Structure 1
């Protein structure tokens, strides 16, 4: 692991777009950008965990001024190398606590990135940090998985999500602490490597309470960016919390 960049150092940044290729496809990106463009209106957007610019670049291409916060200089450097990447401001730091200048009409955390904060305390701090950046009436948007604990039979703590002759990938859950990790075993030329990335899973109702502590209120929750209803069978959700109009930072 690269100490400076956390779990998203140079080796991860070099192949990130390819390893998550399905999330860079138009059918994954365009609906998210459409929603964020609408919520931004004529204001600015703040992306927490901007990474290699998967959402920020097309959002900026729609005319929305975007600023990002990210801990990984390597991921940001890859975004900078892309067309339009130099035009997006980025502050290097922990998005749970790092402050930037100005206010924003929308802030967003996509693709499970809220779970990169591995304690409840850090996740609560993130909501409070976002609330301080939002203008009155502004929105905070999170896209995150619903914890797949229904897949765990008694006595089991691992859920495989990829199995092939050259890669095994599985999530490990600790239901007592909500700690989890995604684990990868890759075999190249007969030699295996192992990587484990820690997360903290979080429930929709828990996020709503974090929002309430930060002075935000739930406005909408969908099954995905297309706006389908969120149900007990949903595997993820896109939630929108609003800062009440008339409240300062």
Structure 2
């Protein structure tokens, strides 16, 4: 799991919402909240792994869903607490791959590529097991994550840019031998540059399905996005739902 002070400490938390502003837009948030609220059902509870500053948890709670979160970063959670309704959401500080909380849940979910914050296959498997252990029979584990962008890598190249604009540059570095990658962010404000590098482990949809089977879950549905667009060979991301067997 990522070191809070190294990657999601105070410096990152202070500008996280601004730097990820497009992810807070209603057209991005609302379909995710609709999807999760429908899946949770009336009277159900939802567990967010990597709750962060509450981008999804807060609007989901406003729909009447009881939400609990797990997050390693106290600095990110403090930002959540400062927002309207944030103090009412229960949060447990810890590694979401292994940290347990009380009670059962209808839905556990990971959004915005957060599964890749776990930088080993073992940790990702542990996360599936942890999610399954929190779910009630018939409950669902939902993951939103990118499809590895390796088709954009020509021979001899290991970098893929994802942001090129005035004052901001971003690119991913891939190591296809280990499935490790890192995202590099350069930001220039008033002539002063800051640099941040964050490690990840990319993971394929079929690999996630195997992790789910190990944890006692089965694939229920997979979509290109929260609005249930079909998942195809051209999809660059997916929203997958695995279900825990009844009984």
For the aligned pair, the TM-score class normalised by the smaller chain equals: over 0.9
Residue of structure 1 in register with 2:26 after alignment: 26
Partner of 1:241: 242
CA deviation vs aligned residue, 1:198-237 (integer Å, no higher than 9, x gap):
0000000000000000000000000000001100000100
In structure 2, C-alpha distance between the alignment counterparts of 1:21 and 1:194, rounded to whole Å: 18
Q: CA deviation at 1:190?
A: 3.2
Superposed CA RMSD in Å reads: 1.2
1:35-55 deviations in whole A, cap 9, x for unaligned?
Answer: 111111121000000000000
Report the more deviating stretch, 3-12 or 81-90: 3-12
Matches within 5 A, 1:148-163: 148-163=149-164
Counterpart in 1 of 2:99?
Answer: 98
8 Å contact from structure 1 (residues 180, 200) kept in 2: yes
Distance 1:96 1:3 in 2: 14
In the other structure, the counterpart of 1:188 is 189
Taking the TM superposition and a 5 Å limit, the aligned residue runs for 1:1-80 are 4-41=4-41, 42-80=43-81
Structure 1 SS opposite 2:7:
coil
C-alpha distance in 2 between matches for 1:18 and 1:245: 42
Q: Deviations over 1:23-73 (max 9, x none)?
A: 111111111111111111121000000000000001010110000000000
Does structure 2 retain, via aligned residues, the 8 Å contact 1:5–1:73? no
Secondary structure at the counterpart of residue 181 of structure 1: strand
SS at match of 1:207: helix
- Equivalent positions of 1:221-240 (< 5 A) are 221-240=222-241
User: What residue number does 2:82 align with?
Assistant: 81
Contact 1:218 1:241 (8 Å CA) reproduced: yes
Q: What SS does structure 2 have at the residue aligned with 1:232?
A: coil
State the Cα distance separating 1:5 from its structure 2 match. 4.2
Unaligned runs of 5+ in 2: none
Corresponding position of 2:130: 129
Helix, strand or coil: the match of 1:74?
A: helix
What is the CA–CA distance in structure 2 between the aligned matches of 1:10 and 1:59, rounded to whole Å? 25
Q: Deviations over 1:170-197 (max 9, x none)?
A: 0000000000000012233333332110
**Contact preservation (8 Å) 1:168, 1:185:** yes
- Extract unaligned runs of 5+ from structure 1: none
- Give the count of matched residue pairs: 245
| TM-score, L = length of structure 1 | 0.96
- The aligned residue for residue 217 of structure 2 is 216
Q: Is the 8 A contact 1:107 1:130 kept in 2?
A: yes
Aligned counterparts of 1:101 and 1:5: Cα–Cα separation in 2: 27
2-side partners of 1:115 and 1:233: how far apart? Answer: 21
Distance 1:127 1:168 in 2: 33
